[in-house]
Structure 1
Amino acid sequence: MNNWMDFNDAQEPTILDELAAEDVKRRILDRLTDFFGYLYPNGKVKGKKFVLGNVAGDKGKSLEVELTGERAGLWHDFESGEGGDLVTLVARSQQLDDKRDYQTIVRFMAEWLGLPSISVGSANAQPAVDELGAHTGKWDYHDGNGNLMACVYRYDTPEGKQFRPWDVKARKHQAPNPRPLYNQPRIKTAEEVVLVEGEKAAQALIDQNICATTAMNGANAPVEKTDWSPLQNKKVLIWPDNDEAGILYARNAAQTIADAGATSVFILKPPEGKPEKWDAADAVAEQTDVRHWLVTVERKTVKDSVPVYSFGDLWDDNSPTPADLLSPRVLTPGGMLVIGGAPKVGKSDFLLNLLAHMAAGLPFLDMRPSRPLKIFYLQAEVQYHYLKERVQQLPLKDYQITQLRENLMMTARMKMVLNEQGLRLAARSIRNAFSDAPDVIVIDPIRNVFDSGPEASSENDNNAMMYFLQQRVEQLRDMVSPEAGLILVHHTRKMSKKQLEEDPFQALSGAGSLRGYYTSGMLLFKPEEMEPERMLYYELRNGSSPDSKRIIKRNGQWCEAPANGVRIAGEEMGKKHDAERIRKREVIVQILHDEALQGNVYTANQFSERFENQRGLGAKATIYERIHVLATKGYIKFFRNHQEYNLPSARRSKWGYLCVEDMSYGMDGKGLCNVSPTHFKCSKTGAVLPVENPEVWVYHDQDFVR
């Protein structure tokens, strides 16, 4: 954090008058691009805006700052709903208060501009005093040789405790980069180190002659900005505060410490019945025998020696294999089942039927739960009233409903990402839903809650997918019940029948990481557009995969389709010309999808010219007319934010570039990125209007919404 009130080594700054402050802000506004590039190295310029993930400076596109015009410097975070002007953003980036620390913020901007130490108050201006008052605590950070690197000051204010770090080398009130660990001279000679949250807790253990340390800022410390190398070859015990933030931080830190080369890493479990935020300092104050507690406390192994089993160990082990949650080996304890399918194939309806049977302990399409299972269905797609309709349409008996009432808990559509804050909210909701730990946790769909971490990539990127699985999904399971089974619902790319026959599961977005990680997969595919049947494919890691099935929904129940191809009454083939229109629709949508992956996007006119008389689409005018129809029906929308994809403006088009659902664009040298529509054609008026929610696609010739 960069601020400039060094009470030990610098002269007291003088009060700035408003004229000087406004001059500093004006100069910054003239150089916003350079200033934000310095303030947020992970941000990017997109057209006339500067974009990043959040006020902390993470990669992403949630936060936007205007760079030009009368709105220059104004910002808004679409995920958190926060916003403000230039001063509030600088304040948030430096963990300051935009009103109380206004003088400090302006000095920060002035120093970046290279202005001399400004002292422009009126002739009667008095020296400024620290508005936080006298510090109530001070902790020194040394390197392994005892050289002072940084200090942390604590202030107890009416608004609560606040901390100010001091970088000795830079001679500024900011956290060093990288941030050092506390108590390094003692760590250097110790074999075992206890990591706690905050200097007060660390010092409490140090006073008990226990080697303890903390990262600067405790649980709020970014693990990637801390130098963990002093813990290399050490046995590390992590003692988290007794709250969700502490547990989550412990997991993040544990993995990073393991990667830094610690010989073992354990997370300690705070005792039952202790108050929230209970920590090591509280334990010492209660006169707990801390040494004895550290030896006997329940702990979770994050890293120890790699488990090695001899052939003889495995051969002689006669212990029973845990019962399948859903047999045969479709979902095992601690396993992960991914259910995939293209848009409109009916994944959510299929899943709801499956979960209802699992929660009631009933078989479903030759799959059988081991018992009535407690299931938490975290779904982020269907709104409450439509979810209610789906539930009430399930063909259930009274005795089945009795079992399901308490066993199957679900959410209506959530607007939440499974980032660190989302994990805490989700874990709390799941724990509150059941008196015991759940058997199964379901996430539907992955895309709506996907967090790719620092890469800020889409779920099509294998590294981003692996980050989400390991750092988000697995963390959620560990926070709730490590042995719970996971079911994830995910979309597939559109694929041909030949691709389906060769390897259907390769169609999953992020398939490289998903297939190497999950224990089982199920895939729904609609072989004929006008037919009601679906194909159900299996892929199992822990056993032989069941044969694929041709299934159909009849009277509200999913069952195997008749072998003789008999159709349900009222669901006959449409007329030949209807089938041809559907074929052309699928061809056009598929071409737009596939071409975008190759880095090619089109306006309506460009597409009509490019694919005239190809793939049975007919003449240019015919194609152009069909695009109009598909836009009216919602299959095609448009995007006009061409700058975000480094595209030229869509000339000769009042609509913009064409966009279809689940479309990804291959940018040169930057991999794939999701393309979201900005405008759509109103089915009633024909007008081109701004899109309110780019995640929702409404097809006006069908009776559902995605």
Structure 2
Amino acid sequence: MIGSHPYLDFNDAEPQSELPGITDRAQEKEEIKTRLLGRVEEALRYLMPAGKVRHGQFHIGDVAGAPGESMKVELSGEKAGVWYDHAEGKGGDILDLWARSRGIDPVARFGDVMDEVRAWLGDPMRVATSSTPPRQKNDPPMDDLGPHTGKWDYFDADGQLLVCVYRYDPPGKKKQFRPWDVQSGKWQAPASHRPLYNLPGIAQADDVVLVEGEKTAQALVDIGITATTSMHGSNAPVEKTDWSPLRGKRLIIWPDRDKPGWEYAQSASKAMKAAGAKSISILIPPEDKPEKWDAADAVAEGMDIQSFLRNAQYAGPDGPKRRIRLRDWTFDRYLGPAPERRWLIDGVLPLGIPGMVAAIGGAGKSMLLMDLCAKVAQVESGSPMPMEALGGPLVSVPGTAVMFTAEDDADEVHRRLAGLVGALPDPSRLIVVPLPNAGGAIPLVAMGREGPVLTDAYEEMRAELLEIPDLRLVVIDPLQSFAGGDVNSDPAAGAMFFAGLGRLAAETGSTTLVAHHFRKVGMKPIHTAAEAREAIRGTTALVDGGRWSYALWEADSDEAEKVCEKLNRRYQRDSVYKGAVVKSNWPTDKTIRTYVREPSIGLLQERSIDLALRVEGNEDLSKSLAAAVGRAAANGQPFTKSGVSGLFERRSELPGDLQDYSKHRLTEIVESLLSSGGLVQCIAPGSRLKKWLDVPGGEFALGVGEFQLGSGPTEENVNG
């Protein structure tokens, strides 16, 4: 039973006349069925190329193999091979499905079904007795070539079966291909306008790979690449093939590595160009491959086909292919609504970008990044209480985080994780690779004869990461252990390193971060985010190469002591840090945060909100500043954090107890109020920047504030 529906099984078949030499037909049937179930997915792809595998089931439109979802076949367990078509209300086992997909009566022609399955499994064909029922109308007759050794179905774009191409390997003769025209019921290909293979797939794709032969095309289709071929491959009469379905498509022609293959690629490219293909590239097979090497061989070798297609050498129909074709990137490619920016940490750290986290040695950036990885791995969909990291909430999308650490061994990683996370909803979503236990450092960049290049180790890491379907975060710690070139002094090496990170981020869709060090700054303390950015070690190519940078710097001892006092903590050196986004290619929250080290595990924990309620040990100070900001905005003369209209520059308008504060201290109080929601930054009418300060619910906060003449902001400041 499937649910409440009975299904057919060959155990219900009428007794058949036995083939010579078979004494126990039931035993033979079970043996064949067992062997077929051992290759059930392969068999289904052979019978129904348009099917898709998802969640342990094979999905297809119907028993004829039309694209769709209404029919499902189990791929494993006790019900492996069992199918049910919900649209028709019918089902059965794998042998019944084989028969029906081939248009054969599963009861009256049981012997023919068994013969076909045996042939597909590679058994020698048995000769049936004269009692075999007559052939049905649209089935191809047996001929002198013996049983076919392969079969490929050609459908139209709507999934209607048009032609079946059979392969034969007669003993002592060359392989032969014969097309069976389903409509006419004859051994012949359509006289003209012969269809391309995999038309349903072509209709849904923008990029298509043309190869030689159905077997090769199906090898690519099976790994998720839209591929096609013309009937008879390189022997196809180009003028008789209907190339029109390739109009507007981007084409790659992957020829066999031989002279006929290259000649076919040239003639096919001209036909496709005439049919209106958007672009055509001819792949140049690698020189180290043997004669006749093709895409099916590449799949069998376990090659990363997507990577190979991206990095292979190409020629165009009229000569060598340029790396970038400008006509592929015209404005029409950007029409329609722009994609929304996706975030890993809402408003702080986007998804799918390369970046860095920098600090002095011993600050705790490795622990902070490991904590971020653990939190990414803990995220559950729709969580009402999102976890916080780096000053913002993690977006509630589950995914996998990977960290490569070159400085900590497995025991240290174990101790750190024990302090950070007790359990995960899915342990496989957190991967931490301690390189001291995994072969040592991995140089991702090396110096080649013409400058820095990405290494084979980089390609291996990239291939591993591409196999993780829900990857959201990759951390590489620290940069220097993964850069074979001198990235600190050589701008080209730094640029190449971040080009590699950018490629990983783009191809996997994950945020890719690297931990890096500050240069030695002597005795001069860091007070601002700009100073922290300047302190990042190496050439400007390192910061410029990444699209996002976060810096952590130690608070001076006086401020650190006050922070510990406000939090009722015992002051310890190296326990209080500041942190902020110091570089971003888009608007992000660049608030300066305060971090305090948790002594038990050594993790820097953000305490900005706690401190906002304890400024100078008295909430009245924050309330006094917020009230002054609100009054100024209500009078049409709002403050900004800095600049001509900044709080420090207009400190004479503040209450007396705030007028004596330094610019840095006033900025810190404002940042705390912004973090806690006591103040907001606004875009005022006529302004292009989100910089004006107001209290929540104020006129500028609501977008209706009007500037008034007086000692407040000038028109130049408003528009600047």
TM-score by length of 2: 0.37
Normalising to structure 1: TM-score of the pair? 0.37
Give the greater-gyration-radius structure (CA): 2
Between the two structures, name the one with larger relative contact order (CA 8 Å, sep ≥ 6): 1
